[in-house]
Every structure is written in structure tokens, then in C-alpha cells.
Amino acid sequence: MAGLKEAVAAGGVVAFTGAGVSAESGIPTYRGTGGFWTQYDPDKYAAIDYFLTDPSYYWSFFRDVRRDLLHKARPNPAHTALAEMERRGLLEAVITQNIDGLHQAAGSRRVIELHGSNRRFSCLDCGREYALAEAEAALEKELPPRCGECGGVLRPGIVFFGEMLPARAVDEAHDLARRARLLLVIGSSLVVYPAAQIPLIAKTSGARLALVNDEPTPADDLADWIVRGKAGEVMPELVREKPPA
């Protein structure tokens, strides 16, 4: 891992993170063993068409499962290592598939959320935005929660299946990938498109590619470095500075 540590220390790093990073904070992955979609039908809990037909289905899932996870989850050493890299000027930004806000909680300032955030909400009718605490207060009153202004149903600020990724976030992520010296992919299975195109964009633009994951990915053949292991164990090692001689 020495060569990868040197590449990180040279700067110009862009991180691309997936569910494996947050798993060590107690948030299950989606497709792995014990993942959300092995227990809950994604066609009902994560599809925009189903949400618009019966929003109570999603909101009962949020109330009974997701809300508790959001409140209990704390940044783990992988999150804090990335924030430290940014503080040292080595990391340009974090591009994430995660919706939990743990990168920001760890201190990362430039975070591009490709799949939105489960800490922001809005009214389907008037567009008024709500913070997590406000949405929870509305949820305590009725299911599904409704807007205090117009009575419209609230929706989470996530990207449901069947929705496009936010264009601004995608454009920013692609630009970062093209300019990166090193793309550091952490905890992503790289099977969800179009987000999984980012390593290819970086590689074809001249970046070096490092994959930190506990399982093989479709991009392994493109990688300059592959580190098998848990993100919370690997990342602190990558940013640990040598003691003075």
C-alpha cells in the first residue's frame, strides 16, 4: 500500500464513496448480506411511481426503520480520514452515493451527493423545503406527513428508482473525475449506473484509480491499486503520517 500512500500524499485526490463506507456506522448496505433490499422490496420502498401512488408505504418505512438509523449513526474512521485529507489540502471533494450526511458530520466541506439526502425534504405541491426535524414533527402528526403551508405530501430529498440524478451534481462529479490525479473509490460495488461510470471517466482522463472494497468490483481491471478490506480500517492507514525521524 506504500505506493498508494505516496499517491494520496501527492494530492489532487477525489473520493467516490458507496454504501460500504456507511455500513461501519451501522447503516446497512442495499444489496449485500443483510442489506435493505434483501429485507424490503425496492419496487415498493424505493420507486418513485410507488411513492406517488402510496406515499404512506415509504413513510412507514422511514418512521420505523430509517429514522432510527439516521439518529444513531455516527461518522466512522473512514469518514474522518477523508475529512482530514481535505483539511490537509490533499482531497478536492467527496462524491458520494450515500444519502446519510455522515461525510458532512465528519467535517467534509465539499460533498457531492449523487443520490440526494435523507436529511432534506420538500413538499410535492408547493416545493417548500423542510429539515429532518421538521419532517419528523410533521410525521408525528399524520402519515404521510404534510406541508404546513399547503397541505401537500412531503417527500424525501433522495433520488428514487425511476428518477434522474440531479444534473448539477452529475456535472460537478464528472468535472471532478476528469480533473483528478487520483480517484479513490471506497466502499462501492460499482454496479449502480450512471454513478458507476465515474471511475471510467477518471481513468480515461488520465487519473490513477484506487479501489478500497472488501469484494471485487466490475472496475477491478482498470485499477492501479486494489485494497481489500474495510474502509474504516484502510483509510486511516492511508492518511497516517510518518513519525518524525
Give mean pLDDT, residues 149-162.
97
Shared domain check, 240 and 128: no
Record the pTM: 0.93
Pairing of strands 116-123, 154-158: antiparallel
DSSP letter assigned to residue 166: P
Shared domain check, 222 and 190: yes
Shared domain check, 150 and 88: no
Shared domain check, 202 and 111: yes
The partner residues of 158 in beta bridges, in order of sequence, read: 116
Sheet holding 116-123, edge to edge: 129-131, 116-123, 154-158
Q: Which domain holds residue 19?
A: 1-27+75-115+165-245
Shared domain check, 145 and 111: no
Q: What is the mean pLDDT of the chain?
A: 93
Q: Smallest Cα–Cα separation from 82: which of 105, 116, 54?
A: 105
- List the grid coordinates of 60: 412507514
* End residue of a domain, out of 96, 128, 158: 158
Shared domain check, 204 and 136: no
Q: Smallest Cα–Cα separation from 116: which of 164, 75, 185?
A: 164
pLDDT, position 132:
94
Number of domains in the chain: 2
Kindly list the catalytic residues: 115
- Of 23-32, 151-160, 185-194, 234-243, give the range with the top mean pLDDT: 151-160
Give mean pLDDT, residues 183-189.
95
The 3-class secondary structure across 16-35, one letter per residue, is EECHHHHHCCCCCCCCCCCC
**Could you count the other beta carbons within 10 Å of the beta carbon of residue 244?**
4
- Write the pLDDT tens digit of every residue in 97-106: 999 999 999 9
Output the domain CATH number for residue 171.
3.40.50.1220
SS3 call for 241: coil
Shared domain check, 132 and 236: no
Q: How confident is the model at residue 65 (pLDDT cuts 50, 70, 90)?
A: confident
**Could you count the other beta carbons within 10 Å of the beta carbon of residue 44?**
14
Shared domain check, 170 and 98: yes
For residues 57 and 66, what is the distance between their CA atoms, to the nearest angstrom? 13
Shared domain check, 127 and 194: no
Shared domain check, 80 and 68: no
- Write the pLDDT tens digit of every residue in 4-51: 999 999 999 999 999 999 999 999 877 766 777 777 788 888 999 999
On whether the CB atoms of residues 183 and 199 are closer than 8 A, the answer is: yes
* End residue of a domain, out of 158, 184, 216: 158
- Write the pLDDT tens digit of every residue in 197-245: 999 999 999 999 999 999 899 999 999 999 999 999 999 999 987 655 5
* End residue of a domain, out of 158, 187, 215: 158
Output the domain CATH number for residue 138.
3.30.1600.10
Shared domain check, 222 and 188: yes
Q: 50 CB contacts (<8 Å, ≥6 apart)?
A: 43, 44, 57, 58
Shared domain check, 170 and 50: no
